[in-house]
Amino acid sequence: MRTLDGKVAVVTGSSRGLGRAIAVKLASLGAKVVVNYHSNHSAAEETLRLIHAAGGEAIVIQADVSVFAEAQRLIQTTLERFGRLDILVNNAGTTRDGLLAMMTEKDWDLVLDTNLKSVFSCSRAAQRPMLKQRYGRIVNITSVAGLAGNAGQTNYAAAKAGIIGFTKALAKEIGPRNITVNAVAPGYIPTDLSSTIPPELVAKGLSMAPLGRPGTPEDVANTVAFLASDEANYITGQTLAVDGGLVMSA
């Protein structure tokens, strides 16, 4: 028996990058997966194809999870299709980097809404069925930027730090109902989202990390899968850095 057989998982922002790797990993362990995307339908279909090719089960649902009503629709559609929800991975995110002196209100709001408000919206919608069944696993994708800060990313760092605080607070609220809430903080993982980071900054960061190399989406996916499994049923309110040791040296 695979570790997630019989479980249903929603992975937000899973059309590509970390989200795709997480969705594929959870499906490989037996979970029925909802692949969520905002605008890139063809990329979401590719995630679906990869899951099906590996013998997994998944569906695709479009929703802008920074909008509360859309997040509610995502969770409700999941319940209508699969009858339950066991795992929520809040992965949706974006960046609009720039020094604070040059940052627009629009770029601030977009990053906070996409990265932080989406965690509120999806978690609030998902907690009702989880509370009812007295079981659930919520895993929030934050960043080492939320732990150590990063120049040129005040909006992103604020959102990701907010996720860490949210994780701890919600873990205390719903832990008595056998629902765990944890966060994963990736370091430098080459994806489309991280492709805008200047090469010199990447090199500097990697030189500071004890392992001295980038991670992979699969490194993050493996960690999420562990926290989503019953093997981690006594872990809650934690933030686990998957960063090659970078945050220790920041």
Catalytically annotated residues: 156
Give the span between the Cα atoms of 52 and 230, in whole angstroms.
24
Nearest to 141 by CA among 7, 17, 3, 244: 17
Tokens of 216: 């992979």
Q: Count CA atoms closer than 13 A to 243's CA, side-chain side.
A: 26
Tell how far CA 43 is from the center of its chain: 17
Radius of gyration of the chain (CA): 17
Tokens of 45: 């279909």
Tokens of 39: 């605008």
Q: Which amino acid is at 240?
A: L
DSSP element (H, E) containing 17 = helix 17-28
